[in-house]
Amino acid sequence: MKENAIEVKNLTKKFGHFLAVDNISFTVEKGEIFGFLGANGAGKSTTIRMLCGLLSSTSGTAKVAGYDINNEVEKIKENIGYMSQKFSLYDDLTVEENIEFFGGIYKLKNKLLQDRKKWALETADLKGKENRLTKDLPGGWKQRLALSCALLHQPKIVFLDEPTGSVDPISRRNFWELINTLSEQHITIFVTTHYLDEAEYCNDIMLIHNGKIIAGGSPNELKTKYLTSPILQVECSDPLAALDILQNEIWVNEVSMFGNKLHLNINNEKKDTEFLKKLLNKNSIDIIKIGKIIPSLEDVFIHLIENNKKGGINAR
Amino acid sequence: MLVKIKPIFVKEIRQIMRDKLSLGILIFIPVFMLIMFGYALNFDVKHLSIGFYDEDNGKTSRDFINSFIHSEYFDNKYNAESSAELDKLMQEGKIVIGVIIPSVFSKDIIKGKTTSIQVLIDGSNSNTGSTALGYVNAVISNFSKDLLVKEVRKKVNMDMTEIIDYRPRIWYNPELKSVRFLILGLISLILLMSSVISTSLSIVKEKENNTIEQIIVSPIKPYELVIGKIVNYILIAIISTIFIFIAGYFLFGVEIKGNYFLLSLGILIYIGTCLGIGLLISSISETQQSAFMLSSIISLLPAFILSGFVFPIRNMPVAIQLITYIIPTRYFLVILRNIVLKGSGLISFWKDLLTMFFLALLFFGLNIIRLKKNKI
């Protein structure tokens, strides 16, 4: 049986009357890459901050590395690494000085500190740049340095709060390669993001919306479990006009723009491509290409969030 | 504890040393300020320009005029031909004081009658004006006393000396030089600045750059961070204090007359109180800008105005006087004056030292309450 690195039970956080995190429960297995997904303000950061001991919970419990977040915060702190999207490094210190400082506050000394410094410089690919001021480094390098600094004390779990928020696509890909390597070293990685393509790198995903978890599973599970209806991709002469028309059709669950294409989630197999062509042609929109596609995570999430909204309205 | 604080201390030193400009400002601006204030800001009133319109033009009136000129407080004698000319001189700002001596002056005095003169004082600078009035009073009463003594001697024909021999001596600051007084005020302001402003800015900077979060998730406790940081600023404050005393000695001849140990103790407690205020400011402000504003308004300004540095506390309305009790500079100034100027012992300022100590405890207590809640 696999061990759990994180166990969350009925965790709730209220800010005044606002429920930021609403009674969530989930577990994260040791050594996996766990993606915590949601829109801005969905409750991602609030959850991560509670798990790291930056914020106290209103009710509920959670165990991180086997320690309770409500009364063993100090123990948790020794066992986790944390990196936020702002890469909290000291801009006016050099690369080496930043590593020494963060090593120092985790009580690394002498030989161990030297070893870890060497490791960090290699991991962040910053060898030979030890004396560069951090403020002069490009975003991608800063990001790698921030991650290595968060890993200096060899934590069992790393929390990454939107780690790729402000770097270019190539740095993002390199970063995820680094994360994969860490995962192979049995470090549990808890990452929040709103980039859905990044979610594909995760072993396990939770989707949080308005403080509630609305779906969870591996990327493949999500695609098959939650999205049973087919997805059509439509390329046409006037996608905006087509969007307007299709939104009002009852056989269409959701329609959304992906670049200049439309993705249609339909609930009636009989309304096939021919039917769609006729409908759009009637409105003098030419169809360039149409076909069934394998849903992306983005399709799944749009479906889930739309469903959640409808559910919310019905409940009222 | 020391192991945990060391990396923070080292980091802070590296940051301070890297920012040479700010370091220079912290250490040398105080000395520069001292020189500037020491030479330019002068509360002494001397060499007042005075003008006379002597209608009488007799021997007694000339003696009277000379008694003004011979004192070091008045010079630049103007002799007006009419009272209108005297008015004009004052309007042009050439004289601060105008004296009109009526034509009957000498005659009245010879007859032994009471006579009168008119004195005009430019009150547009009330400070200079009131000081000038004091000097004029002193000169005139001296002059009439001398006349009286002469008359009495003549009448009774005996050797009569003055009844009370009045020879004032001013202690501790015999020349009443305001720079002596000022330098102490400056020391307290500078210490306040480097401890309140530097500490609050340095902590709020960590909040602004979000580096504080990275520290809170580490095993370092908030108070350890705070101690690691403030030790540096205490050192800087001490270094600039030493510089000020050295500059004060060589440039203005301000000697430390009293006990060095007591002086250091007073300075340390004062720095502690200021750091407490700085920490409180940093815990309620989110940006360096607001920290700076708050520091200036709630610490620097009261220290300047309400501490008794510039304006005497006993002249303030009672409500304002009450406020001065929580201003640490008020006590520190008393301690400094006693030790540096008077060279007096603990007996004369222990109350102030103790009150300041309690203020330090109060501010630190408030900080501990905030830090316990993990708020920096």
CA distance B20 to chain A (A): 12
Whether residues A107 and B4 touch (CB distance < 8 A) is answered with yes
Q: Do B225 and B318 belong to one domain?
A: yes
Using an 8 Å Cβ cutoff, are B193 and B270 in contact?
no
- What three-state secondary structure class fits A206? strand
Residue of B241, B245, B188, B178 lying closest to B41 (CA atoms): B178
| pLDDT beyond 90 at B362 | yes
Our CA angle for B324, B326, B329, nearest 5°, is 75
Task: Tell me, yes or no, whether B24 and B86 share the same domain.
Answer: no
Q: What is the mean pLDDT of chain B?
A: 84
3-state secondary structure chain B: CHHHHHHHHHHHHHHHHHCHHHHHHHHHHHHHHHHHHHHHCCCCCCCEEEEEEECCCCHHHHHHHHHHHCCCCEEEEEECCCHHHHHHHHHCCCCCEEEEECCCHHHHHHHCCCCCCEEEECCCCHHHHHHHHHHHHHHHHHHHHHHHHHHHHHHHCCCCCCCCCCCCCCCCCCCCCHHHHHHHHHHHHHHHHHHHHHHHHHHHHHHHCCHHHHHHCCCCCHHHHHHHHHHHHHHHHHHHHHHHHHHHHHHHCCCCCCCHHHHHHHHHHHHHHHHHHHHHHHHHCCCHHHHHHHHHHHHHHHHHHCCCCCCCHHHCCHHHHHHHCCCHHHHHHHHHHHHHHHCCCHHHCHHHHHHHHHHHHHHHHHHHHHHHCCCC
Report the C-alpha gap between A65 and A79 in whole angstroms. Answer: 7
Query: A67: Cβ–Cβ under 8 A, 6 or more apart, which residues?
Result: A73, A75, A76, A79
Read off the amino acid at residue A127: K
Q: Is B161 a domain residue? A: no
**Tokens 């919306």 -> residue:** A209
Residue ending a domain, choose from B87, B122, B156? B156
CB distance B229 to B202 below 8 Å: yes
Q: What is the pLDDT of residues A286-310, one digit of tens each?
A: 878 887 777 777 788 888 877 777 6
Whether B166 is in a domain gets the answer no
For residues A109 and A96, give the distance between their C-alpha atoms in angstroms, rounded to a whole number.
15
The answer on B332 and B242 residing in a single domain is yes
CB–CB contact B209 A104 (8 Å): no
Q: Same domain for B86 and B186? A: no
Residue A36 has pLDDT above 60, yes or no: yes
At residue B53's C-alpha, the angle toward residues B51 and B54, to 5°, is 125
With an 8 Å Cβ cutoff, is B15 touching chain A? yes
Classify residue B279: in a domain, yes or no. Answer: yes
Range of the domain at B74: 48-156
For residue B374, the chain A residue with the least C-alpha distance is A54
Quick check: A3 and A186 in contact, CB under 8 A?
Answer: no
| Nearest-by-Cβ selection for B218 from A84, A90, A105 | A105
Q: Contact A67/A41 with Cβ under 8 angstroms?
A: no
Run of H or E including A279: helix A273-282
CB contact under 8 A, A74 and B219: yes
Q: pLDDT of B62-102, one tens digit each?
A: 888 888 888 777 876 788 888 888 888 888 888 888 999 99
Residues B273 and B338 occupy one common structural domain: yes
DSSP string computed for A72-87 = -HHHHHHHEEEEETT-
- Confidence tier at A314 by pLDDT (50, 70, 90): very low
Could you tell me the CA-to-CA distances from A172 to A121, A138, A162 in Å, in that order? 19, 13, 11
Res. B108: pLDDT tops 80: yes
**Greatest mean pLDDT among B152-161, B187-196, B350-359:** B350-359
Task: State the average pLDDT over residues A85-103.
Answer: 90
Q: What is the ipTM of this complex?
A: 0.78
Higher pLDDT, B193 or A204: A204
In this prediction, residue B165 carries a pLDDT of 61
Of residues A268 and A51, the one with the higher pLDDT is A51
pLDDT of residue B170: 60
**Strand ranges (E), A101-247:** 157-161, 188-193, 204-209, 212-217, 231-236
The domain limits of chain A are: 4-217, 228-315
3-state DSSP of B324-368: HCCCHHHHHHHHHHHHHHHCCCHHHCHHHHHHHHHHHHHHHHHHH
Structural domain contains residue B168: no
Same domain, B32 and B131: no
pLDDT band at B243 (very low <50, low <70, confident <90, very high): confident
What is the model's pTM? 0.74
Q: Specify which residues A34 forms β-bridges with.
A: A190, A204
CATH 3.30.300.30, domain A228-315, yes or no: no
pLDDT at A313: 45
CA gap B374, B118 in Å, rounded: 71
Which amino acid is it at A137?
L
Residues of A with CB under 8 A from a CB of B: 52-54, 74, 77-78, 80, 82-84, 86, 88-93, 97, 100-107, 109, 149-150
Looking at residue B15, its amino acid is Q
Nearest to A304, CA basis, from A191, A232, A196, A208 = A208
Question: What's the confidence (pLDDT) of residue A269?
Answer: 66
Q: Is B161 on the interface with A (CB under 8 A)?
A: no
Domain boundary among B156, B186, B215: B156
Q: pLDDT (tens digit, 9 = 90+) per residue, A124-151?
A: 888 888 899 999 988 888 888 999 999 9
Residues forming beta bridges with residue A207, ordered by sequence position: A37, A215
In this structure, are B206 and B299 located in the same domain?
yes
Q: Give the span between the Cα atoms of B112 and B195, in whole angstroms.
A: 67
pLDDT score for B43:
61
Region of B99 (left: φ > 0; alpha: ψ -120 to 50; beta: rest) is beta
The last residue of one of the domains, among B99, B123, B156, is B156
**Would you place residue A12 in the very low, low, confident or very high pLDDT band (cuts 50, 70, 90)?**
very high
CA distance B35 to B37: 6
Say if B220 is an interface residue toward chain A (CB within 8 Å): yes
Give B-chain residues touching A149 at CB under 8 angstroms. 214
Given a contact cutoff of 8 angstroms between Cβ atoms, the answer to whether A72 and A111 are in contact is no
Other C-beta atoms closer than 10 Å to the C-beta of B212 total 19
Per-residue pLDDT averaged across B155-177, rounded?
A: 62
What is the structure's pLDDT at B375? 58
Q: Are residues B14 and B57 in the same domain?
A: no
Q: What pLDDT is stored for residue A94 in this prediction?
A: 94
Answer yes or no: is B119 within a domain: yes
Residue B137 in domain: yes
Cβ <8 Å between B11 and A54: no
Amino acid at B232: N
Query: B178-192 and B20-40 are packed helices; what angle lies between their axes, rounded to 10 degrees?
Result: 160
Per the CB < 8 Å rule, is A105 touching B216?
no
Instruction: Verify that B189 and B301 share a domain, yes or no.
Output: yes
Judge if B99 and B27 occupy the same domain.
no
pLDDT confidence tier of residue B163, bands split at 50, 70 and 90:
low
**Does B23 lie at the interface with A, CB-CB under 8 angstroms?**
no
CATH topology classification for A4-217? Rossmann fold (3.40.50)
- Domain containing residue B118: CATH number: 3.40.1710.10
pLDDT of the residue at A3:
81
Quick one: average pLDDT of A215-243?
81
Say how far apart CA B269 and CA A26 lie, in whole Å. Answer: 53
Cβ contacts from A onto B, under 8 A: 71
pLDDT (0 to 100) of residue B281: 92
With an 8 Å Cβ cutoff, are A105 and B10 in contact? no
What is residue A96's predicted lDDT score, i.e. its pLDDT? Answer: 93
Q: What residue of B is the nearest CA neighbor of A109?
A: B3
The count of structural domains within chain B is: 2
**Which residues in chain A are closer than 8 Å to B215, comparing Cβ atoms?**
105
Q: Flag whether pLDDT at B308 surpasses 90.
A: no
| Secondary element (H or E) of residue A10 | strand A4-15
Q: pLDDT exceeding 70 applies to what percent of chain A?
A: 96
Q: Which chain A positions have a beta carbon within 8 Å of B211's beta carbon?
A: 88-90
* Domain-embedded: residue B72: yes
Q: Chain A: give the shortest CA distance to residue B234, in Å.
A: 21
Over residues B201-219, the pLDDT tens digits come to: 888 988 888 888 888 888 8
